[in-house]
Structure 1
């Protein structure tokens, strides 16, 4: 189902956590709410779920406004960061618990639970208790439990944050596979730019309770709307020119003779080898980067090997004119 937020606002006393946001999430899409801690993304998710009251505005799921409905009547399910599995129940009974509360017969709820465990590749461990599972396995059981009731919209609150980096990559692949197979709408809160880019059809970048930009991942990365988006997504240099502010991708920065006639001198202040690429930090007094972090150029490993740089070196830095993306004021 489509999810639409209309002037959605949440206030806590004199503090505004979510400030009149408007957003439409198409049915069957994977949407990531992305932003730093305290930007309002989790509060927005909880208002969609019905776990947080709405101060003003509305939440529309499918054809009807649901802002005043309890969670069970919204057609949504929520997967929490903590997983919150019942320690005394095995995987099958954890997944079937919501169906049991709805009065479903034991045989039928176990059949559905087993089918959902198979979907998340946990059917062979159906008899195990949560304490006998790894973190990734617990996450799969929590996902199956959220999906077994047949929600039209699944809400995920930083579901991968407790996993180690290797397992996080593996599980985000599984999340995307499951969402594609089921064809339902996923709304996923994360503070990881990489996670949002890998998973989503729609990235919603939030800051200070407002939406800075909502677009597909490629557009957000290639054409950030604001300086905040450019910095938060990463991979860009934000530069203030006399007549405008621009963002230039770090991997499109040019160093040395090919930097062009408009290039300015810079001193190398950092060199970080990252395997396939080398990140070169630069101090360029002739450029107003308007940020606490130094100007960065990302060079391929081969390009750096052909013309290596060391701390303290002076090099000219520039970019092609069509690589400069103008930012909103």
Structure 2
């Protein structure tokens, strides 16, 4: 495979990203194992998976911060395997933000333009535009130590965006924030993605984050892609038991028919002696744990043939016939709510 266009230049609109049999070794350890993936121009892609699954190594190869052991990486129509980060049309926002403590917000954002020789007045003007984009204009003269974590993150975003990349790479950008700020910053990332139209590639271990942000969710496990697709497809039609369990909200049931998944919020519960749900499948079990979540109640059952069998009930339905830990119950579901798994 050869390059068809030059790698120079940072387009204002999104670029496609394509991984072809991409592999990464650290000594004898295989971190990324021959993955194929195409991210459309302007997409919001989340690489999702547990620690050690290969998602950060994949992101760093796209950025040019890790060498590719084998395979090809294309940005736009260009193979960029050997290109330095500055020539890829990408920008990366690091998990630690990596702001310069001795520079104010304006100079932090303008730093990459300074390195490119852009005149001071021009680079500071463009930095102020970026700070305005992320709603940080009023803090332009402050040092990073004078900002909250969420404000530092906005400055780091502005610094990444000032180069006008075709692809913005985000390495677990919300992990250091408290739950309230995480929700606010998800809204900000979605807004920026919509307004700018560039391609976002976002690494996270949070299923909620991936579902809320992405139009392409890529679930990784042990260096491979288990499943890639729109969030609703991945949630409702998991290919494997790993995806069903990792995404959450599903039970994996193993019986003579093989491995199958059923959503936790499609389960109906009743007492064993009088259970008649009008369901096609039933299991008896014992309530092991329950948690009140406001609009819903989450229960965990001990049942044969399933690990950590979960049930999510509407609050009013649960309190119509409340249960306690240790109660025997019958869990039932309809055949239409069963999804077969390939592995």
TM-score by length of 2: 0.93
Q: Is the 8 A contact 1:254 1:319 kept in 2?
A: yes
Structure 2: runs of 5+ lacking an equivalent: 1-14, 271-275
Secondary structure at 2:324 match in 1: coil
Cα RMSD (Å):
0.9
Deviation (angstroms), 1:204: 0.2
Aligned to 1:263: 282
CA distance in 2, matches of 1:159, 1:311: 38
Deviation (angstroms), 1:260: 2.9
Aligned to 1:51: 65
Q: Is the 8 A contact 1:259 1:316 kept in 2?
A: no
Aligned to 1:280: 299
Deviation (angstroms), 1:262: 3.6
Aligned to 1:10: 24
Secondary structure at 2:30 match in 1: strand
Does residue 322 of the first structure (1) align with residue 341 of the second (2)? no
Deviations 1:10-47 (A, max 9, x none): 01111100000000000001000000000000000000
CA distance in 1, matches of 2:142, 2:100: 12
Q: Is the 8 A contact 2:280 2:333 kept in 1?
A: no
Aligned to 1:226: 240
Q: Which runs of 4+ in 1 moved over 2 A?
A: 259-262
CA distance in 1, matches of 2:281, 2:240: 24
Aligned to 2:258: 244
CA distance in 1, matches of 2:131, 2:281: 60
Secondary structure at 1:283 match in 2: strand
Q: Is the 8 A contact 1:259 1:317 kept in 2?
A: no
Q: Is the 8 A contact 2:285 2:330 kept in 1?
A: yes
Does residue 118 of the first structure (1) align with residue 158 of the second (2)? no
TM-score by length of 1: 0.97
Secondary structure at 2:254 match in 1: strand
CA distance in 2, matches of 1:100, 1:297: 56
CA distance in 1, matches of 2:103, 2:279: 67
Does residue 303 of the first structure (1) align with residue 303 of the second (2)? no
CA distance in 1, matches of 2:206, 2:217: 11
Deviation (angstroms), 1:237: 0.4
Deviation (angstroms), 1:119: 0.4
Corresponding residue to 1:207 among 200, 212, 221: 221
Secondary structure at 1:31 match in 2: strand
Deviation (angstroms), 1:261: 5.8
Does residue 128 of the first structure (1) align with residue 142 of the second (2)? yes
Q: How many residues align?
A: 324
Deviation (angstroms), 1:6: 0.2
CA 1:92–1:112: 2 relative to 1, 3 Å: same
CA distance in 2, matches of 1:145, 1:80: 11
